[in-house]
Amino acid sequence: MAFVASKGPSRRLHGVRRVWAGLSAGDRIVVLLFALIVSVAIAGPWLAPHPTMTADPAQRLLPPSLEHWLGTDDNGIDVFSRLLAAPRTDVTIALVATLLSVLVGAPLGVLAGLFESHPRRVLSLTGEGMLRLLDVLQAFPVFILAMVLVAIRGPGTENVILAVAFVNFPVFLRLVRSELLSLRQRPFAEAARAIGRSDLAAAFVHLLPNALPTVVVQLSVTVGFAVLLTAGLSFVGAGIRPPTPELGAMIAGGAKFMALGQWWVSLFPGLALGAIVFVCGLFGEVIGRALEPGASSAPRRRRAPPLAAAAAATNAPAADPQALLAVDRLSLIGDDPEAPLLETMSLSLRPGERLGIVGVAGAGKSLLLRTVLALPPPGTTVRGRVRFEGRDLETLPAAELRRLRGATLAAILPNAKAQLNPLVRIGDFMAAQIRAHVRCSEAEARRRAAKMLVAVGLTDPERRLDAYPHELSGGMAQRVCIAIALLHRPRLLVADEPTAGLDVTVQRQVLDLMLKLSKEQNVAQIVATRDLGIVAHYCDTVAVLEGGRLVEMGPVAAVLTAPSSAVTHRLIAASRGETA
Amino acid sequence: MRSLIYIGRRLLLLVPQLLLISIATFVLIRALPGDPARLELGPLAPQEGVDQLRRQLRLDQPLPQQYLAYVERLAQGNLGRSWVGSTEVSADLAVRLPATLELIIGGMLLVAVVLVPLAMVSAMPGGGIAGQLARKVSFGYGLLAGALPDFWLGLVLIFVFFSLLGWAPGPEGRLGILDVSPDHVTGMYTVDALIAGDLATFWSALAHLALPCITLAFVYGAPVFKMVRSSLESALKADYTLYARAVGLRPTTVLRYAMRNAAPPSIVMAGVVSGYLLGGAVLIETVFNLNGLGQYAVQAVTTADYAPIQAFVLISAVFTMLVYLLVDLAYFALDPRVSRGATR
């Protein structure tokens, strides 16, 4: 319990201490490891218990022992001591090279971003040209480019730094440019331009600081990568050369002994190298999370405490023997068991009955429909019971549940264009849907699909079957979804916002179509909507949801003319265009 | 028709790209201090030879002329001579390129056969104990793979599987010391041995390839692995997958459709990684002594042998460009939103 108590409101802390307090235990370990690497890089050479650069042939290739913790290499130098001394070389090169590539890449990125969207053709072409040039530069594989640069300029610390910086600056150029382009869309950038700051000044004063978090994260990743690159170059002899202690060269020095069984010469420097790169990457993620505004202290959404009495009063209809769908004390529990997403809801539906579910956004309409379809969001728990045609959906085997869905239990989900897989042709999807429920040939399935498309009022069905979703309008996609829902003569149609995003005429056509089918084929419907007008015209019964609870339910005329709850009052007022 | 135009335009883009690459390599070499002819022929070459090459390279003429001479020589397939080995660079490449291709293809096959399925399994929810295990393995792999240096990993594999266990051959090259290389057809020993019907040589070549390919796949497969996993994960969470389940599609169909959505970003990532593979091959070939293009380049760099360096840089850039071309074409074929723009 002490642990819980310590999480209570704490005093205001400042600067580093406050950041530290916001970190999780794992993040703190990463920060400490990073600090360890930095300290070894700074003080390592002085901490080494044995000389790091003096050969001693008498001590050649000794295995790890108390005297030489990690053994000795082929020059008789203590591996542990060299390992303490080596990171200074690698980390220094990586840090300096990364800083250099930021100093060159970031301003160039600002220029590229500014030029590219500049109205003057000369400048926009220059920006475009810069990027194309970068494409060509990046066509040369990084390692090869670095190796050749060192080859041309000769080995040595400065040349390795230059080479590593040179191959990395395009990363920062591109990063800053793309950050800039996305930040330019934001209001404060517009404001800066509106008050007459020049583009360039605005970019440097406002945009670059805002792009900083992303750049900082990339920095630590690049430092890790630069360490690997430096070690790789030294490994092939195109970087730092012995006797300077350096991890890649140490690995190279022990390479041939790996095959001979003297593993310690190469193994430990490699582990150290891996650890440095690994910690750098993790450190970047930690900084990224710390810099993200409000990341650590996001308030948890809480719902209003349940009103047990009111819930009990409205949620206990008598069991209906003729019910097609019976929802009995259904609850949906999310992350917080204290605040269920849906709370003890009961309702039932007879064949051919049309139920409207209304409520403001977040009231739980979609969750209710998903639970009715036995597709609750991952990570939630369902309590209570949903019975469809007398069968409990919770206990139904997955295969049978699947055969039910899309056949007798049909679904229409909001925003049809997002529901259809963008990479699957309408015809393929419909045929697969038909053949998942009925034994028939592909050709037969397509014929049925085409017939259904005509039935929902789509012309030229062959062309629609051949189309991808992005080639349809919103109304057409909605009709396709309705067609899919009706393919197997459903008994219940669950429709979530079936007309949202459609213009008024199309909305009407879609609803009339649904009503007609409901009447002709005796299809029961559950329609979730924010639009009371739809409910008034198309439904028999209405259920009002608020905060995951069912607050009112009854015949449409009764509820809409004499609402008993405040929510319903507000919804009615809102639909009349009044303010609540 | 649209596709023909797209493919045509994309192929046309290759022309300026190759032009820029050739200019870049040209500039890279001219940036060297000293006489390019002398550099190419080495410090030991007689002065007459150097003078002859100077004339051939038109070094006495202005830079544009020199560039033209450079391109002309390239067009004839003449990549110069290695002064260290006194061989034609193009002949060296013909021998060494297949070794590198064998390594790269083998590594990418491993990625496709082992890592991609693992990534897919770990992206799927549920799956019982096997699924949990796959997710644990893939989490651990995701953490490790980005950090471990390829050349070191190769050495550790040699230590474990050669010196310790004796399961794999040591870093002795592409074949055992006593093996005879198969008749040259493709230059890839595994393929040539199969063509010759020589199974013993085939197994030997395969055994010598195993550790290098594993190293390559482990290190360079990581970005592909992560991309497959995350894109399949998000496809399985997407609205269209929920809808596909809501209308009762078979689970296999649901998965197949989600995989279609995960494919384009994964293929782009595979392409980007393939572009880096020649760079990775440099280190891995050195560790395993495979005598491929990469090791050739390392030898050239350490001996300041400029003609091979120039050729290698050129080839690697062209290789990258071609890989990117393939990626673009694959993306075009896979995503109808690119190939069939919004038409109504």
The domain ranges of chain A are 23-53+71-291, 306-408+488-575
> What value does the mean pLDDT take over residues A53-69?
81
Q: Which fold has domain B95-342?
A: MetI-like fold (1.10.3720)
Task: Evaluate if residue A27 carries a pLDDT over 70.
Answer: yes
* B chain contacts of residue A425, beta-carbon cutoff 8 Å: 336
Using a CB–CB cutoff of 8 Å, tell me whether A410 touches chain B. Answer: yes
CA–CA dist A417, A430 (Å, integer): 15
- Alpha-carbon separation of residue A449 from A126, A452, B24 (angstroms): 53, 5, 57
Task: Evaluate if residue A97 carries a pLDDT over 70.
Answer: yes
The pLDDT tens digits for A502-561 are: 778 878 887 888 888 788 888 899 999 888 888 888 899 999 988 888 888 888 888 888
Q: Is pLDDT larger for residue A356 or for residue B336? A: A356
Which pLDDT band, with edges at 50, 70 and 90, does A142 fall under? Answer: confident
pLDDT value of residue A200: 63
Yes or no, beta carbons of A423 and B340 under 8 Å apart: no
Yes or no, beta carbons of A236 and B324 under 8 Å apart: no
Cα A159 to its chain centre, rounded Å, is 40
Whether the domain at A23-53+71-291 and the domain at A306-408+488-575 fall into the same CATH topology: no
Minimum-distance CB partner of B248 among A224, A228, A437? A437
From the candidates A130, A133, A147, which should be mutated to test the interface with B, based on the most B CB atoms within 10 A? A147
- In chain A, % of residues over pLDDT 70: 86
Q: Are A524 and A351 in contact (CB under 8 A)?
A: yes
A238 token code pair: 């195109």
Helix (H, G, I), strand (E, B) or coil at B149: coil
Yes or no, beta carbons of B31 and A411 under 8 Å apart: no
A306-408+488-575 homologous superfamily = P-loop containing nucleotide triphosphate hydrolases (3.40.50.300)
Pick the CATH number of A23-53+71-291 from 1.10.3720.10, 1.10.10.10, 3.30.930.10, 1.10.150.170: 1.10.3720.10
**Residues 365-404 (A) with a CB less than 8 A from some CB of B:** 370, 373, 375, 378, 402-404
Which pLDDT band, with edges at 50, 70 and 90, does A302 fall under? Answer: very low
ipTM of the complex: 0.82
pLDDT value of residue A431: 94
A359: left (phi over 0), alpha (psi -120 to 50) or beta: left
If one counts every other C-beta atom within 10 angstroms of the C-beta of residue B337, the result is 14
Residues sharing a CB contact under 8 Å with residue B245, sequence separation 6 or more, in sequence order: A375, A402, A405, B254
From the candidates A29, A133, A134, A258, which should be mutated to test the interface with B, based on the most B CB atoms within 10 A? A258
Listed ranges A50-59, A385-394, B104-113; the one with the highest mean pLDDT: B104-113
Q: Is pLDDT larger for residue B150 or for residue A304? A: B150
pLDDT value of residue A292: 64
Helix (H, G, I), strand (E, B) or coil at A382: strand
B306 token code pair: 């400029």
| Helix H or strand E encompassing A409 | strand A409-412
pLDDT value of residue A4: 41
pLDDT value of residue A310: 40
* A chain contacts of residue B237, beta-carbon cutoff 8 Å: 378
pLDDT value of residue A528: 92
The pLDDT tens digits for B169-201 are: 878 888 877 777 788 888 888 888 888 888 888
The pLDDT tens digits for B205-233 are: 888 999 999 999 998 888 899 889 889 98
Task: Evaluate if residue B50 carries a pLDDT over 90.
Answer: no
State the DSSP code for A78.
B
pLDDT value of residue A205: 67
pLDDT value of residue A1: 36
Using a CB–CB cutoff of 8 Å, tell me whether B158 touches chain A. Answer: yes
- In chain A, % of residues over pLDDT 90: 16
Yes or no, beta carbons of B282 and A236 under 8 Å apart: yes
b/e A61-84 (16+ beta carbons within 10 angstroms → b): bbebeeebbbbbbebbbbbbbbbb
State the DSSP code for A416.
H
pLDDT value of residue B107: 93
Yes or no, beta carbons of A270 and B17 under 8 Å apart: no
Tell me the shortest Cα–Cα distance from A207 to chain B, in angstroms: 29
- Alpha-carbon separation of residue A178 from A114, A172, A173, A331, B236 (angstroms): 11, 10, 9, 45, 28
> What value does the mean pLDDT take over residues B274-286?
85
Which pLDDT band, with edges at 50, 70 and 90, does A189 fall under? Answer: low
Using a CB–CB cutoff of 8 Å, tell me whether B311 touches chain A. Answer: no
* B chain contacts of residue A237, beta-carbon cutoff 8 Å: 298, 301-302
B139 token code pair: 């989490």
Using a CB–CB cutoff of 8 Å, tell me whether A1 touches chain B. Answer: no
Give residue limits of the domains in chain B. 95-342
Q: What are phi and psi of A554, to 5 degrees?
A: 170, -175
- Alpha-carbon separation of residue B172 from A4, B162, B179, B189 (angstroms): 61, 11, 11, 15
> What value does the mean pLDDT take over residues B29-55?
78
- Alpha-carbon separation of residue A279 from A30, A165, A225, A268, A283 (angstroms): 6, 21, 11, 16, 6
b/e B10-37 (16+ beta carbons within 10 angstroms → b): eeeeeeebbebbbebbbebbeeeeeebb
Least-confidence region, from A296-300, B6-10, B15-19: A296-300
Yes or no, beta carbons of A406 and B159 under 8 Å apart: no
If you search the block for the tokens 């290698």, which residue do you land on?
A: B312
pLDDT value of residue B253: 93
Least-confidence region, from A126-140, A315-329, A545-559, B117-131: A315-329
Nearest to A30 by CA among A240, A279, A237: A279
Using a CB–CB cutoff of 8 Å, tell me whether A150 touches chain B. Answer: yes
Indicate the burial class of A265 (C-beta count within 10 angstroms; 0-12, 13-18, 19 or more).
buried
Whole-angstrom Cα Rg for chain A: 34
A492-496 vs A409-412, strand pairing mode: parallel
Yes or no, beta carbons of A147 and B250 under 8 Å apart: no
A549-555 vs A541-546, strand pairing mode: antiparallel
Minimum-distance CB partner of B313 among A135, A148, A485? A148
pLDDT value of residue A114: 80
The pLDDT tens digits for A373-383 are: 888 888 888 88
If you search the block for the tokens 């015949």, which residue do you land on?
A: A555
Give the bridge partners for B87, in sequence order: B82
Tell me the shortest Cα–Cα distance from A86 to chain B, in angstroms: 16
> What value does the mean pLDDT take over residues A5-28?
64
Q: Is pLDDT larger for residue A28 or for residue A194? A: A28
Cis peptide before B251 (omega within 30 of 0): no
Which pLDDT band, with edges at 50, 70 and 90, does A101 fall under? Answer: very high
